[in-house]
Structure 1
Amino acid sequence: MTLNRRAFLTSTAAGVAAAAIPTRFAIGNTAKIKIGVMMPFTGTFASLGEMGANGLKLALAMQGNRLGGREVEFVILDDESEPSRAPANATRLVKSDGVDVLFGTVHSGVAMGMVKVARETGALLVIPNAGVGAATGALCAPNIFRTSFTNWQPAFPMGKIAYERGYRKIVSMTWKYGAGEEAIAGFKEGFEAAGGAVIKEITVPFPNVEFQANLAEIAALKPDAVFTFFAGGGAVKFVKDYAAAGLKQSIPLLGSGFLTEGTLAAQGDAAEGILTTLHYADGLDASANQSFRAAFAQAYGKEADIYAVQGFDAGLLLSQGFSAVKGDTTNRPALYAAMERAVIDSPRGLMTFSPSHNPVQDIYLRKVRNGQNEVIGIAARNLSDPARGCKMTG
């Protein structure tokens, strides 16, 4: 066969015939690009997984469901927010289903399993929510990108804000788990750098929501303010208990934005006046945000949130990357270089990427007024995570 092929290519006629046969890439270019969507679709984080996946799908629908000219196919897997199964699930998507891109997830423990598989297999991983610092820190890699935040990133600017508002002694409180501990550490770094002191760090077992003893301790300590990291149902319970304990009027409550993100309706009047910092707010006055929210509501019949924004931006990032290589999934160096250079006109505002592939983005100062997270300022402009331990190679 080798000799015959060489003989063929010595003749003009055979050369023309050979030219009519698609090249290896051209054959591959007719195939669909597979995206393995590994998100929680059941359990506590089901709504977050659905919103993130729908944000991704909306972004690609706006591109005709194509990346670099190639059709997109989604392979959906419910990760159930179960870290122990994450490596096997991600491996199945890459090796059995043959996905070109891993997209996920919400739970930081599951994300770490996906990071492990991405580093071992070289698969492209885009993280649309999980804020675990190591993914773009000590375990950073050329094929790992994030379109959300690190747990440090929204919390750190609140330290300076708190000091500027005259607070000098603060108590922090969170669940004893990775996301909470990283967020508290970020706030503490910013607050102590400004000159303040965290006089007590309170942690409670995850997902415990019995806070009465802790609130009594806070009342006895009499700090200038309290900084917290809670989310979901725990955030609802904490905010309501804090107000019921009579602390709201005397000790201001501050938080990473997830304290009041998606929880305000359930928190009611107890949330009024709470200050938070986050990389998005529903009412941001930007044309990209307004058009995105309108398109999302039309497509899915519900209002978008931060989780939808982060999934949407993942789609925009993939679109820029694959457009640069015309859909060639084999040209990884050029694909990653294009993604590194990407400038995303996000609903949150313009977003770029740090050398560790984490978003460089504005962090907004928000205050709860009349049941809404209103933007009252910018806590930090173009904030980049320090990516401690990241040694990018490849």
Structure 2
Amino acid sequence: MTSKIGRAAKYAAILAGLTMAGGAVAQDGDTLKLGYISTLSGPAGSYGVEMLNAYNLGLEHTGGKLGGKEVELVTGDDQAKPQIAIQLARQMLQRDDIDLMSGLLFSHVGEAVNSVILPADRMVVASVGGSSNLAGAGCEANYFIASWNTDTMFEAIGAYLKQEGVERVAAIATNYQAGWDAVSGLKLGYESDLAAELLVQLNQSDFGAELSQIRAADPQALVMFLPGGSGIAFQRQFNQSGMQETVDPYLATFQADETTFGALGDAAAGTLNAGPWNPELDNAANKKFVEAFNEKYGRNPSILAAMAYDTVLLLDAAVGAVDGNVRDLDAFREALENVEFDSVRGEFSFANNHFPIQDFYISRIAKGDDGTLRNELVTRIFEAKADSHTGECQMK
């Protein structure tokens, strides 16, 4: 596998210790040009680099190939900005003539990439970055996502809070599509009104006013969707406020795992989170992944890493089913819809909207005997769960 990488992404990759060969490989019948756009710099850059690390690990495990075809990974840093993502997508089509697109992190950036890639008759197989629109009325025949729709993760939190009899719940989320989806999903699972519902700006760093509003609402639980640096800043300020003594915090797993443990410190211990994966899941693919990631990076992988790694395994199976001819969209779509592979999550399939059907778990951050933080598996809250938008999807 070789890779072509832009200046900003290359800088982020060097900082993260990624090993990627520079320069392009001439396209031939045995080479698959795979576009990969993600957020590799800025406040959320650590998320994107974590995923790229795992994506490359997956490609190592497939011998640098997908479905038997050598992979040229053409990588770009969207900086979490839709306009930059659009420029990168156009460049990858016009200059690199990519065969399909993968990667992605933020939902608003993903929709921007789709606006360029899908009309060009290329498949998008995203690792992360889904939205309720893409899962529902805006579903696309040539768009698949390997991870989740944000609202389903928070629906799992809401269902757990209802199950546990928590009576007063507040929510704080970033004011963009994924944040709206998070609050919507929480309400769907909790099935009761919220004590407080706050929306804040992307990359906000001072939460004094919001913390005062939360204190006034007197919740038993606080559910947070604040990705990137904002989430770390808020959790620090929340802990400093003393409210953690009476208010239990809940997050999506990608806000409460190895990507944030270092910044949050021991104060994160006890925090509950929801997601479709945990390092402790007992299956062969997961054990291989967790062990290999630990050997390479000295710690457990995050859930974002797991989704990126699984995307590679998924693509390896689907690309192989069409003998590498991913531009035969009808055949490739059918292969993806019926894909069978050994997922790190165990059972995996796609719903009619091309979002996963999968189990969801509640995990708790705990401090191990060696002093390191890790996510302990608490319970499975949903089994073979499709998101709530499948009925809205009339596939084009």
Measured after TM superposition, the shift of residue 29 of structure 1 is 7.2
Measured after TM superposition, the shift of residue 133 of structure 1 is 2.5
SS at match of 2:384: strand
Q: Does 1:338 align with 2:335?
A: yes
| 306-315 or 146-155: bigger deviation | 306-315
Give 1:227's aligned residue.
223
- TM-score normalised according to structure 2 size: 0.85
Relative to 1, partners in 2 of residues 1:252 and 1:41: Cα closer, same or farther, differing over 3 Å? closer
- State whether residues 230 and 258 of structure 1, in contact with CA within 8 Å, keep that contact through their aligned partners in structure 2: no
Q: Give 1:373's aligned amino acid.
A: N
Q: Does 1:187 align with 2:183?
A: no
Give 1:263's aligned residue.
260
Q: Give 2:245's aligned amino acid.
A: Q
- State whether residues 125 and 146 of structure 2, in contact with CA within 8 Å, keep that contact through their aligned partners in structure 1: yes
In the TM superposition, what are the counterparts of 1:49-128 in structure 2 within 5 Å?
49-128=48-127
Give 2:248's aligned residue.
252
Q: Does 1:361 align with 2:367?
A: no
- TM-score normalised according to structure 1 size: 0.86
d(CA) in 1 for partners of 2:306 and 2:74?
Answer: 21
Give 1:129's aligned residue.
128
- CA deviation digits over 1:325-344, x for unaligned, max 9? 11223432122111111134
Gaps of 5+ in 1: 1-27
d(CA) in 2 for partners of 1:242 and 1:302?
Answer: 27
d(CA) in 2 for partners of 1:283 and 1:265?
Answer: 20
Give 2:384's aligned residue.
382
Give 1:324's aligned residue.
321
d(CA) in 2 for partners of 1:166 and 1:327?
Answer: 51
d(CA) in 2 for partners of 1:390 and 1:37?
Answer: 26
Give 2:303's aligned residue.
306
- State whether residues 87 and 113 of structure 1, in contact with CA within 8 Å, keep that contact through their aligned partners in structure 2: yes
- State whether residues 202 and 230 of structure 2, in contact with CA within 8 Å, keep that contact through their aligned partners in structure 1: no
- CA deviation digits over 1:33-68, x for unaligned, max 9? 110111222222322222222323332332322233
Measured after TM superposition, the shift of residue 185 of structure 1 is 0.9
Relative to 1, partners in 2 of residues 1:41 and 1:219: Cα closer, same or farther, differing over 3 Å? closer
Q: Does 1:213 align with 2:195?
A: no
SS at match of 2:243: coil
Relative to 1, partners in 2 of residues 1:109 and 1:56: Cα closer, same or farther, differing over 3 Å? same
Q: Give 2:126's aligned amino acid.
A: I
Measured after TM superposition, the shift of residue 348 of structure 1 is 2.7
Equivalenced residues, count: 363
Question: 4+ runs of 1 displaced by more than 6 Å?
Answer: none
| 320-329 or 295-304: bigger deviation | 295-304
Q: Does 1:292 align with 2:295?
A: no
Q: 1:391 aligns with which of 365, 389, 394?
A: 394
Measured after TM superposition, the shift of residue 109 of structure 1 is 2.0
Give 1:8's aligned residue.
none
- CA deviation digits over 1:293-342, x for unaligned, max 9? 22234456664222221111111111111211112234321221111111
- State whether residues 254 and 304 of structure 2, in contact with CA within 8 Å, keep that contact through their aligned partners in structure 1: no
SS at match of 1:333: helix
SS at match of 1:345: coil
Gaps of 5+ in 2: 1-26, 368-372
Measured after TM superposition, the shift of residue 285 of structure 1 is 3.4
Give 1:168's aligned residue.
167
- State whether residues 280 and 306 of structure 1, in contact with CA within 8 Å, keep that contact through their aligned partners in structure 2: yes
- State whether residues 67 and 323 of structure 1, in contact with CA within 8 Å, keep that contact through their aligned partners in structure 2: yes
- State whether residues 37 and 74 of structure 1, in contact with CA within 8 Å, keep that contact through their aligned partners in structure 2: yes
Measured after TM superposition, the shift of residue 378 of structure 1 is 0.6
d(CA) in 2 for partners of 1:269 and 1:316?
Answer: 34
